[in-house]
Amino acid sequence: MFRNKLTDIPLFHAREAVPVRIVGDGAISTAGVGDGRMLPVLILDATDRPDIAEYIRLHRHGGPGDVKVQWGQLPALHDTVVLMLTVLRPAQMKMIIAFDLRRNHGFLVEQILGMNGMYIQAGQAGDRVGATMDHPRIVVEVPDTGFRPTWDKLYYKFTVKKLREAGLDRARAKVAARDAIAKLREIGAFRMTNG
């Protein structure tokens, strides 16, 4: 999806063509889950996607799931990257999760790439992680797909652009962008440990 040519994405159902919005986010670190990594939690708008809530329910109460992941961009969504999840079991479905850099979703992408995973939870606008701790969520492992170098360039360029819009000259914006991204990665490297 990051080549100069467009690639069609085969779908199981027409509703899967619309990217799923992130309506809330946070992070959870548990010593017994994901080696204590600080995994981001994405609350996904399931208003038009009841299949997402059903998948999470089935996955929590059944055996392990089988999910393939692929990062990319959609031509109509500028300043956005997407993560496509192709779920093969316990149900067959696809989710295209849109990360809008203008809405500060860059930190979420950084966390997912740095921690190789995330939680997903079905919800609706207004849901917050702290108020929905008892809601079902599942861990999705996001292995290295080779996206990191592409992401680093995209996020650096976007951050420089935002700093330039805030009034910094080109040289200062480049330095400030590197510093800001380094700080984000430092914050995101937190791990919970036993003992």
- What pLDDT, in 10s, does the model give residues 47-95? 999 999 988 888 776 666 688 999 998 888 889 999 999 988 777 889 9
Of 41, 28, 140, 43, which Cα lies nearest the Cα of 84? 140
pLDDT at 1 over 60: no
* Per-residue tokens: 166: 């805030």
Confidence at residue 193, expressed as pLDDT on a 0 to 100 scale: 46
Of the CA atoms within 13 Å of residue 174, those in its CB half-sphere come to 3
State residue 48's pLDDT score. Answer: 92
Asked whether residue 173 is assigned to any structural domain, the reply reads no
Q: Contact at 8 Å (CB) between 123 and 132?
A: yes
Please tell me whether residue 180 adopts helix, strand or coil conformation: helix
CA dist 152 and 98 (Å) reads 17
In a domain, 21, yes or no: yes
| Residue range 2-30: mean pLDDT, rounded | 77
Per-residue pLDDT, 194? 43
Q: How far is residue 19 from each of residues 99, 112, 116, 178, measured CA to CA in Å?
A: 10, 18, 21, 30
Residue 153 domain-assigned?
no
**Sorting pLDDT into bands at 50, 70 and 90, what band is 15?**
confident
pTM given for the model = 0.84
Residue 166 lies in a domain: no
Residue whose C-alpha is closest to residue 90's, from 121, 54, 49 = 54
Q: With respect to residue 168, please indicate whether it lies within any of the assigned structural domains.
A: no
Out of 9-18, 86-95, 174-183, pick the least confident.
9-18
Q: Determine the pLDDT at residue 184.
A: 85
Q: Is the pLDDT reported for residue 6 higher than 80?
A: no
Report the SS3 class of residue 165.
helix
Examine the pLDDT at 39 and tell me if it is beyond 70: yes
When divided into structural domains, the chain yields a total of 1
Which residues does residue 70 pair with via DSSP β-bridges, in sequence order?
Answer: 84
pLDDT at 2: 45
Place of tokens 């000259």: 169
Q: Is the pLDDT of residue 192 over 50?
A: no
Give the pLDDT score at 7.
Answer: 64
Residues 6+ apart with CB under 8 A from 137: 41, 56, 119, 120, 121
Domain membership of residue 179 (yes or no) is no
Give per-residue pLDDT as tens, 103-158: 999 999 999 999 899 999 999 888 888 888 889 899 999 999 999 999 999 999 99
Amino acid 195: pLDDT: 42
- What is the residue range of 80's domain? 14-145
- The answer to whether residues 119 and 34 touch, using CB atoms and an 8 Å cutoff, is no
Query: What pLDDT does residue 168 have?
Result: 95
pLDDT, position 8: 67
Residue 190 maps to a domain: no
Task: With respect to residue 18, please indicate whether it lies within any of the assigned structural domains.
Answer: yes
Phi-psi region of 32 (alpha: psi -120 to 50; beta: other; left: phi over 0): alpha
